Amino acid sequence: MKDDFHTSSPIYLQLAERINRQIIRKELHPGDKLPSVRMMAVESHVNPNTVQRTYSELERMGIVESRRGQGTFITEDQERLNRLREELRLQEIQAFSQSMFEMGFTPEEIINGLKDYLNKSEGGKAP
């Protein structure tokens, strides 16, 4: 799985964000084992040190747990994963809102536009 990385943030953080989003989308589940550092590096076309830094960051955040001799696993702490979901939701809302405000939209225009968009979509998916 080759990633197209952008230069605005470090690659290890971009990998961490990708894993976080896979958890939120339920592509990765509590207790799932992540690929080894070496395998993830090959799949992502990055240096193994970058993957190790990604896994260390996710562990610091409480998203994954390293088990000596077994690998790295998604935490089974559902409360922590719920907080992750909420944090990502708020980050996206903040970024979207900031962009809309910078373009001169009022809160009412943003809310009405969002409602219109969601009403046209099916089950929350883009039309």
pLDDT value for 5 = 83
Give, in order, the Cα–Cα distances in Å from 45 to each of 31, 33, 49, 127.
25, 20, 12, 33
Q: What value, to the nearest 5°, has the Cα angle with vertex 109 and ends 105 and 113?
A: 115
**Domains with residue ranges and CATH for the chain:** 11-76 (1.10.10.10), 79-123 (no CATH)
Amino acid at 120: K
CA-based nearest residue to 80, from 61, 93, 67: 61
pLDDT in tens, 55-66: 999 999 999 999
119, pLDDT greater than 60 = yes
How many Å apart are CA 88 and CA 20, to the nearest integer? 9
70: number of Cβ within 10 Å: 9
pLDDT value for 7 = 81
What is the mean predicted confidence (pLDDT) over 17-44? 96
Percentage of residues in the chain with pLDDT exceeding 70? 93
What is the mean predicted confidence (pLDDT) over 93-122? 94
Give, in order, the Cα–Cα distances in Å from 73 to each of 31, 58, 60, 85.
6, 10, 13, 18
What pTM does this model have? 0.80
pLDDT value for 107 = 96
25, pLDDT greater than 60 = yes
| Confidence tier at 1 by pLDDT (50, 70, 90) | very low
What is the mean predicted confidence (pLDDT) over 74-100? 96
CB 37 within 8 A of CB 52: yes
